Structure 1
């Protein structure tokens, strides 16, 4: 009975009249029906780089598009959305208009008309022909409206979701005015080193104009693109959509084709989680195994200090164990770098208790004043007086560029020799080196006068690598470090980020007795400017819960991790702050990322990133 009533209600809806072909054609620029124009566009697209893409200026009737823009401005509600991969103002899915009464759509007649002609058979045939993508579905509609305002962006991805075959963007910035390149908001396309590994830098860019459409054949592992950040207080309005593989009872339908396509072609997220591509990721997540005698020493320290809370409350740290206490010479060494507040017996005990309760520490003013002021002076000087390289080919020793850019992009120093990643052979050559990090050796290759900042940062890294600091770390966390990886990083404004990923557990340490299924992560933030607190310019380090098994990754963009509206999934949100040390015990259920740094940031985001495999000690 329920099904019958629903059916009757559905049948009673008034439907939008189907437009005749002549009417559809009249609403487009007449040039697109010209066989000579189509052939020229097809040739242009087939020869385009870095993959098959094209654009058409003045696509549809100008009056129609102006009316569409007015309807959007007056009738459509936009919601600000921000994740690791984008920041955008987004409307609902226009495909949902298909299920509404025509009377409900009467306030959006021009938008509905535009949607109908874009999915009309005659226009789809043109797109199918010029892109060489094959037949396209007219029933599976997939459109949304986005407005990119100042600070909005969309990071690198390849649009491989479900049955998408062609992507398109119809631009609607303010009509009658030129959208200039320095406004930002351009569509940028990235060449690939090999399949699923895009170059760090784009090789083609489209500066959008009113009534211009850009489109490309979705090519798994190759159609990488992004939308550069909008830098001005203007609205870059656009309609984003996709054409899909033909559905059942449509021309061009092939039974089983969509299922095969979905199974064969992985989304950007699936690529990032694939072990197949790990050889092409730099920097490597491999952590260096600590010497056996060091680990045993740390075990004794932890065992001596890991006493019950009752005893700990009544017993001073110095009386717990002679093994666990820092010697005078060790305290003296630590004091060369660390603030004395965190070296006293009570200071260590306070840190220890906080970490045991929360599995997380935030330590402000971590380095002592002398080291802090020197580093701040040098980093600020670099920001003001040295030109920061923005293209991978311009990056010089000791810095490198993290790749691939659909996972992360930033500058880093990892203690190894300089590398270039212009081709697959470059990457294979690097893999064949099997080079271990050696910051001491790296420093000898640097000119101290030209690289004073880098040399002083390496001093801090060598301190963090010392057995005395790791003993201090073991005292604070009561976890035994088994391995380590330490890097210096710089996230450039308008360029750099990391997307949300899970920890990559070390296969070498899986079977170590007492191994906890987690990694201890540290980040010493050395960002020399303020203005980061609101989060508007990005750069914040965010940890979030990833235990939602109900996400429909065929419907939602699997390249995007979402936080819920209440923010319940966010565990830690740490904006850049000078000389702040963030320490987190993290397992596989927790995602972490550094949010894209906006052009509006006053400086780069600088930090020293640390990871230790750790185990508990009974």
Structure 2
């Protein structure tokens, strides 16, 4: 399911009357016309960190902006919109100011006047001068109204869409109250390790106030920013807008400039999807290929199971003998599985029920997956970790065995991957790991831990070793009738007010594509171990969502490169209800989800709100698989 971009720039009719220059200037704070002020602001912007940006307090006439705010509050209805990258309240049919019928503005005269002066030539020239952007279009208007209430946020991005040249946000919170830093809702700016790879933590933050504007030149690969989650029951109203490259007939128009800009500066989202930044992504989704003898063993298990199914196909329930021959589950293997898995999922009837459910849906949701003793131990340890230990938020404070997932415009969470922690204390040093090949070795990692200080981590690693065992993968093969060929297991922690993953496609293992029976899908397992409740409604995020990717619909051949670029960058995946949503699983305790996912299915974990009672904890597993059935 696609969502429309927050605003869609349109070329405004030329017949509309413009305000006279002296009237435009009179509606702004007179200081912005002062050459000394402009030059000081220009120098501040040039020296600003992490990239060139600026802010102006008391930008426009106070009376005008108060009237605009009142019009918005009384005439425009806002609806909560939520996707993988944001949660915000947008106006309905008036979300796009440029889409208004500007010939019928009796309800919004002050809003119209504000748009006129913000896109006036004299003001655009000031912004172009102080930012060094070059000429800006007054014809291509691009503005939207948003209000951020408690829980609303916008995750890290660089605003590279189409022909945008300058981004700006004009803030309209309560004009008679100071907006305080602890309210949240700040504009946060991120430095970059290298182009297109921002640091996990912001290095600058603007706390917005009424009649304040923030603006910056759109710099592909560098102008990364986000909107911090609003943490209180207050409205942070704002007008978001962009200035574009001059259009044909305007001063500063250069034939072919816009097309060249679009072709050269690929949107960040498009780069993430094309995997050009894959070398700079951690953790790496590199599934280790399983030993040949393990795979052959699983094949024999599935062949024997398939033969038994055909022999008993007329029975109402097809049994799987727990103690038959070497190709099924032996007594020793059942005893091992019983140490971890609930008995009901190890009985003949329980296994067959799961087999039939997976055969029908290509997915399973298994509640109370771990047995009671293992579940109680894990809950005690994870709760203790939540309540008794400080959770590290800054990347520099994350200590072994945990690491921070990067880059933050794709995901951010803590993880344990069974690999060495060298060079992960300083984010910039992760580049030293780019060409370093290292297999997962959780057993070695566990030996390095202080078990008293890392009791929860030690038991989580013990669970990982169980999931990586040959016996568990044999059990997995029986449930799914698929033969595992590779594996990767991660322990993850999603911190409140910090962590998420954006919607991404799965990646197949190129080394296995020529294997007979190879399935063009990845088998994914998620054991959710989130110890506190309050997640069911989805209001605090943390849910894992699978959805169909509908971006391939339409006549691609008829689209221009600009069309495709704008779609790639501006159209994120909606996580609201609809035909595209396949699975929506809220964070919970001891729930095991198993999903066979191909390249047309997107998956993400929604940003976890500050108001969540705890982190979302899980163990994430992936396997490349093959089918041994003759008709596959």
TM-score, normalised via structure 2 length: 0.93
Paired with 2:76 and 2:140, the residues of 1 have a C-alpha distance of: 22
Paired with 1:14 and 1:481, the residues of 2 have a C-alpha distance of: 63
Cα RMSD over matched residues?
1.9
Aligned counterpart for 1:414 among listed residues 413, 417, 432: 417
Task: List aligned pairs for 1:465-504, cutoff 5 A.
Answer: 465-504=468-507
Q: Deviations over 1:103-145 (max 9, x none)?
A: x211100000000000000000000011111110000000000
User: Does 2:532 match 1:529?
Assistant: yes
Q: Deviations over 1:271-302 (max 9, x none)?
A: 21133211100000000000000000101111
| 2:83–2:575 Cα contact (<8 Å) kept | no
User: Does 2:345 match 1:334?
Assistant: no
Paired with 1:566 and 1:411, the residues of 2 have a C-alpha distance of: 29
Paired with 1:422 and 1:48, the residues of 2 have a C-alpha distance of: 27
User: Does 2:469 match 1:458?
Assistant: no
| 2:158–2:225 Cα contact (<8 Å) kept | yes
Aligned counterpart for 2:581 among listed residues 556, 570, 574: 570
Paired with 1:60 and 1:315, the residues of 2 have a C-alpha distance of: 75
Greater RCO (Cα-Cα under 8 Å, separation 6 or more)? 2
| 2:497–2:609 Cα contact (<8 Å) kept | yes
CA shift in 2, pair 1:353/1:188, >3 Å: same
**1:203 alignment counterpart:** 203
**1:294 alignment counterpart:** 294
Q: Deviations over 1:150-173 (max 9, x none)?
A: 000000000000000000000000
| 2:423–2:429 Cα contact (<8 Å) kept | yes
Paired with 1:31 and 1:550, the residues of 2 have a C-alpha distance of: 51
CA shift in 2, pair 1:93/1:144, >3 Å: farther
| 1:400–1:419 Cα contact (<8 Å) kept | no
**2:558 alignment counterpart:** none
Paired with 2:102 and 2:447, the residues of 1 have a C-alpha distance of: 73
User: Does 2:394 match 1:387?
Assistant: no
CA shift in 2, pair 1:318/1:237, >3 Å: same
Select between 300-309 and 489-498 the one with higher mean Cα deviation. 300-309
Task: List aligned pairs for 1:58-457, cutoff 5 A.
Answer: 58-91=58-91, 92=93, 97=98, 100-102=101-103, 104-306=104-306, 307-308=309-310, 310-311=313-314, 313=316, 315-318=318-321, 322-420=325-423, 426-457=429-460
Shift of 1:265: 0.8
Flag structure 2 segments of 5+ consecutive residues without an equivalent: 1-12, 555-562
CA shift in 2, pair 1:86/1:564, >3 Å: closer
CA shift in 2, pair 1:320/1:553, >3 Å: farther
| 1:305–1:320 Cα contact (<8 Å) kept | no
| 2:45–2:54 Cα contact (<8 Å) kept | yes
SS in 2 for 1:433: coil
**2:605 alignment counterpart:** 594
Shift of 1:426: 1.7
SS in 2 for 1:597: coil
Select between 303-312 and 275-284 the one with higher mean Cα deviation. 303-312
State the number of aligned residues: 605
| 2:290–2:485 Cα contact (<8 Å) kept | yes
| 2:51–2:223 Cα contact (<8 Å) kept | yes
| 1:199–1:422 Cα contact (<8 Å) kept | no
Shift of 1:345: 1.0
| 1:158–1:268 Cα contact (<8 Å) kept | yes
SS in 1 for 2:335: helix
Paired with 1:171 and 1:319, the residues of 2 have a C-alpha distance of: 66
Paired with 1:177 and 1:557, the residues of 2 have a C-alpha distance of: 39
SS in 1 for 2:169: strand
Paired with 1:380 and 1:147, the residues of 2 have a C-alpha distance of: 35
Shift of 1:262: 0.7
Shift of 1:554: 4.7
Shift of 1:325: 2.4
Shift of 1:417: 1.2
SS in 2 for 1:461: helix
Shift of 1:311: 4.5
Q: Deviations over 1:564-584 (max 9, x none)?
A: 875111000000110000000
| 1:324–1:475 Cα contact (<8 Å) kept | no
**1:5 alignment counterpart:** none
Shift of 1:563: 3.0
**2:17 alignment counterpart:** 17
**1:27 alignment counterpart:** 27
Paired with 2:137 and 2:508, the residues of 1 have a C-alpha distance of: 43
CA shift in 2, pair 1:559/1:383, >3 Å: farther
CA shift in 2, pair 1:419/1:185, >3 Å: farther
Paired with 1:330 and 1:360, the residues of 2 have a C-alpha distance of: 24
Shift of 1:14: 12
SS in 1 for 2:296: helix
Flag structure 1 segments of 5+ consecutive residues without an equivalent: 1-12
Paired with 1:453 and 1:314, the residues of 2 have a C-alpha distance of: 40
Shift of 1:194: 0.5
